[in-house]
Structure 1
């Protein structure tokens, strides 16, 4: 079973399940500044290397609701996944269950809600890849390319502690994966970076999402029940 990625040191505990409106506003502003000042500047190392497009295991529709990617329509089961694009344990979970999840969504058995978070924001060089890649996946969900972009970013996941993909590489990936008009501007402007940060703040302050006293990724919630990545209950639902 993959080890859940956790930040070091862990974020401070709070009594509220969600940040206050003022705190969220400050977080969003800071995230936008970081994204604009660091990630958008990118870097020369590997900038000419295209991210390979990994075909999606299955096609399914996506929408975005308050920064959460909703895959598929109403279904008998709802799966909430909390992921960080830089998280090695998330990659392991995607390798283990990604195909089954995509097929279950495409068949209408499961609706998946992807909460993209920036738990490992400081673990890329320069910092900011978790927000940038999360933003790109939300942009892809709005542009009809989420299944392939999501699969591709985990299949070719950057090394934790190394350089993440810059905005030019993320835009190029989405365009080759079939993203519609507006995807490039969405990625370059960091339209959803603040929502990725809020997703994390809400998750880390929700006791229902904590295991052993802290929040980690991937966090898997099936029909309101917190599960381990290899839980047989999840396998049974995905198998139909």
Structure 2
């Protein structure tokens, strides 16, 4: 084989290797974007799919804007936080969530055992803020109805268990099943003693609807871009994709020493 032919074949191989490396890099970037997009339910999707869907997300109960009734035991500015855990815990985790958001479900599923362990041992206190992001993005009222229902469960002293039940039974993001109060009350049957006349009335009357709307406004004015937003000691830790339940546990336990 002539030197020229060998050089030609080598050059072709090198070109092929470069192209393959470019393709691998593109695939890696694409995977990162997909993972990044699935980490949070993003604020502002309505701008992409149209203002009509955002307007469709405005509920009748939101339109009539009743009095702001905070659930029992709510704390913080404007009583917008539902606390879980002891007041004296060394660490506080602030979580902004939408009951209809699949990324919130993914967070809850992955972190729930660790969060329960840290709360039950007195090391961590969680402050939950409920928002209605998906209603605005995709239309419907499931975020609002679900948030009102868990606030009603807080009145009954069963927030944590019912909150976990709703995430375990969360429908697909595009399925607005949580807009049905009957469905929410049916799922409440999974929490012993929760379904009482008072709970039914609270869910059906939308007792805490205006409180949820106020929480949504606080979320938007806080400059947060998506749910879940998870803050430990005020620092957003969930946007760091290397965060794991084990790392969170380590951080909380370190703060206790």
Post-superposition Cα deviations, 1:108-165, rounded to whole Å, max 9, x if no partner, equal 111100001001114566x100000011111111212222211111111111112323
| Cα shift at 1:225 | 1.1
Determine the C-alpha separation between the residues in 1 that align with 2:99 and 2:135. Answer: 10
> How does 1:91-102 map onto structure 2 within 5 Å?
91-102=105-116
Determine the C-alpha separation between the residues in 1 that align with 2:205 and 2:211. Answer: 13
Determine the C-alpha separation between the residues in 1 that align with 2:102 and 2:130. Answer: 14
The equivalent residue for 1:162 is: 175
Asked whether 1:4 is paired with 2:18, we answer no
* Number of matched pairs: 192
Runs of 4+ in 1 over 4 A off after TM superposition: 27-30
Determine the C-alpha separation between the residues in 2 that align with 1:3 and 1:34. Answer: 32
Asked whether 1:68 is paired with 2:99, we answer no
Radius of gyration: which is bigger?
Answer: 2
More RCO (CA 8 Å, sep 6+):
1
The equivalent residue for 1:50 is: none
The equivalent residue for 1:31 is: 62
| Cα shift at 1:176 | 3.7
* Aligned residues of 1:77 and 1:110 also touching (Cα < 8 A): yes
| TM-aligned CA distance change 1:204 to 1:168, over 3 Å | same
The equivalent residue for 1:56 is: none
Structural RMSD (CA): 2.9
Asked whether 1:191 is paired with 2:191, we answer no
| TM-aligned CA distance change 1:206 to 1:163, over 3 Å | closer
Between Structure 1 and Structure 2, which shows a larger proportion of helix residues?
A: 2
* Aligned residues of 1:123 and 1:161 also touching (Cα < 8 A): no
Calculate the TM-score normalised by the size of structure 2: 0.66
> 2:73 aligns to what SS in structure 1?
strand
Calculate the TM-score normalised by the size of structure 1: 0.70
Determine the C-alpha separation between the residues in 1 that align with 2:118 and 2:186. Answer: 28
**Where do 5+ consecutive residues of structure 2 fail to align?**
1-34, 48-57, 67-71
